[in-house]
């Protein structure tokens, strides 16, 4: 009965308010929505504009920028698509959870391009996509090809991630850490290496995970993915005060807002109910519009804020069909345990066993 009530509540928006004062601000729109944009004159200008929108979406967690990027692509002729535009289109598709079209576009660039730099970028993007979906054999193939043409910390990080998730996290961690100490110190490579080291350390249950994630944030404070990973780690360690500090000023980002709301609830924070209500409205409207991109965040909200185990399990399971990163896997296991669905736990265990994957973040597998 609880699940039905939750689903019904999220099926349509709340009643529309019509009485406002002249001075009341209802919503703040990005500059892009207020300034008419002229069509880009050439492929380079189009790619630069799309890249800027994707960067804004990644650094602000605002999905509207994905819409702006899509609008540029929709207005660009297919017969004038370049390798760079195809890769950016694939990146956008991945961000919108359109994984198969993204994969096809990247493979096309790898297969048909004569530009080695663009092929390398396509391989790196494809390797990341395969890792997100838990497709480790094709991910390893792309990482190995990447290492042949671009040896260095990024390729080593790529291979280490695959090795860690297929049975050898300790070896992967030690090898990558040694490589990072003796390699060139360019920022991009260090961000890749430290982020990968953090994830593997968390997989091993090492406290060093926090150190690696904080190094990334020192180099790139706008890295929302890293901030989310660290906030989640701190929450699991019981350091709710640190979570509140790390997520301050990030309530507009779904993943960070949900973690912040959980921390507030555990602390009995005076602002907990306000944030929970704001999240409920945000997810309700997203489901009404049919564009709930952050299904993992909604499932976690349903589980840890609302205590709606059935809705949490339904959404965590749907999310896991496409995304199988550690946060996705752990959430599905937690939701299944909370809902008393051992068949889902058995399914996930079988998938983990098929890859010889062990992770300290999955205590449900050992119970």
What separation in angstroms does the CA of 74 have from each of 31, 58, 71? 20, 20, 5
- Work out the pLDDT band at 16, boundaries 50, 70, 90: very low
- On the question of pLDDT at 6 being above 90, the answer is no
Question: Which pLDDT tens digit goes with each residue over 285-338?
Answer: 877 776 666 899 999 999 999 999 999 999 999 999 999 999 999 999 999 999
Structure tokens that stand for 181 in this block: 């100490």
DSSP for residue 18: -
- Work out the pLDDT band at 363, boundaries 50, 70, 90: confident
Question: Which pLDDT tens digit goes with each residue over 315-328?
Answer: 999 999 999 999 99
| pLDDT > 70 in the chain, percent | 88
77-91, 140-154, 175-189, 257-271: lowest mean pLDDT where? 175-189
Q: Are 66 and 101 in contact (CB under 8 A)?
A: no
- Please provide the average confidence, as pLDDT, over all residues in the chain: 88
Residue 32 is predicted with a pLDDT of 53
Question: Which pLDDT tens digit goes with each residue over 19-70?
Answer: 444 444 434 545 554 444 677 789 999 999 999 999 998 888 888 899 999 9
Question: Which pLDDT tens digit goes with each residue over 112-166?
Answer: 999 999 999 999 999 999 999 999 999 999 999 999 998 999 999 999 999 999 9
Angle between helices 309-322 and 2-9 (to 10 degrees): 60
Structure tokens that stand for 275 in this block: 């944030």
Q: Are 254 and 281 in contact (CB under 8 A)?
A: no
Residue 223 is predicted with a pLDDT of 93
CB-facing half-sphere around the CA of 33: CA atoms within 13 A: 10
Alpha-helical runs (H) found in 205-341: 208-219, 224-236, 240-247, 254-267, 272-289, 295-301, 309-322, 326-339
């Amino acid at each position: 009965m609880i699940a039905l009530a939750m689903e019904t509540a999220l099926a349509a928006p709340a009643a529309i308010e019509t009485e406002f004062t002249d001075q009341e601000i209802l919503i703040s729109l990005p500059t892009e929505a207020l300034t008419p944009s002229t069509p880009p004159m050439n492929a380079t200008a189009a790619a630069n504009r799309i890249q800027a929108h994707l960067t804004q979406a990644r650094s602000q967690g605002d999905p509207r920028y994905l819409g702006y990027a899509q609008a540029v692509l929709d207005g660009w002729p297919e017969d004038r698509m370049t390798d760079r535009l195809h890769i950016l289109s694939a990146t956008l598709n991945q961000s919108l959870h359109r994984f198969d079209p993204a994969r096809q576009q990247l493979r096309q660039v790898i297969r048909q391009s004569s530009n080695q730099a663009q092929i390398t970028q396509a391989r790196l993007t494809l390797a990341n996509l395969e890792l997100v979906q838990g497709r480790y054999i094709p991910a390893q193939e792309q990482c190995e090809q990447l290492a042949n043409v671009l040896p260095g910390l990024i390729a080593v990080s790529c291979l280490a991630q695959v090795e860690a998730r297929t049975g050898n996290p300790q070896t992967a961690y030690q090898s990558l850490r040694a490589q990072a100490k003796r390699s060139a110190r360019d920022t991009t490579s260090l961000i890749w290496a430290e982020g990968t080291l953090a994830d593997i350390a968390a997989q091993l249950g090492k406290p060093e995970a926090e150190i690696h994630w904080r190094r990334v944030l020192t180099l790139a404070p706008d890295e929302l993915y890293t901030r989310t990973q660290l906030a989640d780690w701190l929450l699991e360690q019981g350091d709710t005060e640190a979570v509140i500090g790390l997520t301050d000023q990030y309530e507009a980002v779904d993943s960070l807002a949900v973690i912040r709301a959980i921390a507030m609830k555990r602390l009995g924070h005076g602002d907990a109910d306000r944030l929970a209500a704001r999240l409920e409205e945000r997810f309700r409207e997203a489901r009404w519009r049919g564009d709930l991109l952050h299904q993992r965040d909604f499932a976690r909200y349903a589980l840890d804020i609302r205590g709606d185990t059935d809705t949490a399990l339904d959404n965590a399971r749907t999310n896991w069909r496409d995304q199988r990163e550690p946060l996705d896997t752990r959430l599905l296991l937690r939701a299944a345990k909370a809902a008393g669905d051992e068949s889902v736990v058995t399914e996930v265990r079988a998938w983990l066993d098929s890859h010889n994957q062990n992770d300290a973040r999955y205590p449900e597998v050992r119970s």
